Structure 1
Amino acid sequence: MSGEAMDTEPKTLEGLLRELNTLRERVRVLEASASARHQTEEALRQQGERLQALIANSLDDVAVLNSDGTVRFHSPSMGQVLGYSPDQQSLGSNALDFLHPDERPMAEEILTQVRAKPGVPFSFEMRARHADGTWHTMEVVLKNLIDDPSVGGILASFRDITERKLGEEARIRHAAALARAEELHRSRQRIVTVQESVRRDIAQQLHGSVQNRLILIMHRLTELERSAPTPETAAAMKDLRQRIEEIVDGYVRPISHRLYPSILRRGLVVALESLADQFEDTLPIEMNLDPELQKLERSAPRTIPEPVRLAAYRIAEEALTNAVKHAGGKPTTIELALFSHGWLRLVVQDSGPGFDPQRVETGLGTLAMQDYAEVVGGSCLIRSSEGSGTAVIATLPLSVPDALLPPKTLPSE
């Protein structure tokens, strides 16, 4: 008996030790599981706090709506989006009541489509009433999650895009203004181009057909004068020939030249000198011409493109005409020089009484000078003050697009 008891006791002790180890292992596993669960719960808590903070401070307002549009839940950010205080954000109100009356029918139609298509997002823009009474443009996204037990309604997000829309509208207006300005520039360019084309055609007709026919008549009258049967007839023929010669020299050629200055073929410097000679009887003019430009044009008269030569000539012509009208025959200076790289500057300065540009309406002559300059990509400024005379300053490029170059050359002199 005692021997059997001695054999049984060690076995029972070993069993107890094994059970003890097993319990220790189970405790360790439970402790590890509890720690993991605690960590998971802490992570979920932190994630929930972050999500709540994001919703509360979001630029979007998040809401859950019933199928008829009544509000079941809305985020605290509604105050930031539409300016409503907590006591104004009562649940149970209908989201459609915040919309502009003109846009509510469309919103109701969209809500019907949302109800019919669960899980499909619908995006649109609507005007909503801000707490201050103004209408703000909202970007709205609706998604039917009524069957989702975690939501149980229509998820709605609202973002105020008023500033973005105003910016877009401003950009559109700016683009439209630029387009109108560009179209105006092209229109002015077409007007100037057509005007000069008509002038050139008339000048060619006067210089060519009309003048040549008159010269032929003059030669015929000379022949008739020589063979006239009586001195009286010869004298009449001579008088008629002289009258026609006066018309050619006094009217046809000057008008042809004024219509289109063919002397521009010889260069801008020569053309401006010729223009100054035309005003010498009414206006003392001093010429200050860039020696480098003179040398350049002597070797290559067409260094300056024809449209630029013509623009400079027309501007100088209008400025001198104004000097005759307003400067009372006082000295006037014409300056022409290369300016910077690839630019030409023309200045016509008179010694007249001047004027206050703020008090004088811009005339057609000034607009015409500006048109000529702008058509070739330059500018023309008028500077004047009372008692200090008037300066016309044109800055013109030495190169122009091929589209501005004329299809044919200037008429010969």
Structure 2
Amino acid sequence: MTASLRSLRPHRDGVLLAAAGLLGGLTLWAVGVGTQGAAPLLPGAWVLAPLVVTAGLELLRRTAPRTILLVGTVALIANQFTTGSPATILMYTDLMYAAVLYGSPAAARRIPWATGLCTVGAAIGFTAWLQRADGLLLGLAVGLVGFLPAITGAQVRGHRDAAGAARLRTEQIALLAEMDRAQAVTAERARMARELHDLVANHLSAIAIHSTAALSLDDARTTREALTVIRENSVDGLAEMRRLIGLLRDGGDEARRPDPAPSLAALDALLEQARANGASSGLGFTLDDRRGTATTLPAPVELAAYRIVQESLTNALKHAAPGTVAVELGSAAGALTVRVTSPYGARPGPRAPGSGAGLIGMGERAALLDGVFEAGPVSGGDGGHEVWAVRAELPVSRNHRGPEGSGTS
């Protein structure tokens, strides 16, 4: 009920127009100014009736445009049977303008056409009735009162609608830009999380395993060897972290820019490090590269393959039973294949805890390249025993999604 009453409350512009029109009409009537030269059918104060009605309609020009046009037309016709008030005619032109501007879209389209036809019809009719060219002037007067305000209202409404549509498009573009920014931030956070995990997990796993061994075995030689491995991995991990922090802090400084992203050419060094870290756990590591010497891979594919091998070796150091961890690289149907197998079963000695984030990160790297990733126990190891197998197919001839190509270590 309150909202309904509020919607009927006159707008300030309507109140001002009604007051000005009523005051002006009363002043013109008081000084004897009218539009009818001959003796009217309703002389005297009858001219005030259409004036008051039209002024009252100005209060509803925004809230009831259709009603004010119909009643205003009746008041305008009635005004012609009195001495005629110019103020009534002027207020009617504003009612016609408001009916087009604030009315329904259908009314906004029809009213200019209707007033245009009335103007032409009035010009032809008055000319035929009077049998002289003065009838054209009467038709022009009808056009000034009806057609001109209607076409003006249509133009103003068109500009208003165009401005509203442009504002809506601007808001939509801003919303899409904000969504893109949020998605870019999320993607960058995910990329940095993968990079951070891959950079330090290998070193921290080795530190955890050897520190556990040093604490659990009361042997000076074993403790010294474990501390040596711990120190080496601590120094290497710290260096990797510094490079990553340098990327975040000084990404535009060429002199302090981190090293470029690792490639498959660095796998030998990666396996040497794994051999040193896994020797105490009875693990051996082999690499079988069947790609051929002329194989050239896109940088995002090389980085993803390197990180998958790196994380697989880290998982083997933490969870694999004694035996051989085999890394195999190959090419098939326009894709790079990566397969890492490790002994699967009970493991003696110390183990490092796992969170599962490594498998998630490897799957994300493959998905960003529209590739395939699988991980789990399979049969077919040495002696038919189960092994843990990680397998990835990374397409090399597609448009790769995501920021992998820009990753650095």
> Which bin holds the TM-score, normalised by the shorter protein?
0.3 to 0.5
Larger radius of gyration: 1
Name whichever structure is richer in helix by fraction.
2
Query: Normalised by the size of structure 2, how large is the TM-score?
Result: 0.33
Name whichever structure is richer in strand by fraction.
1
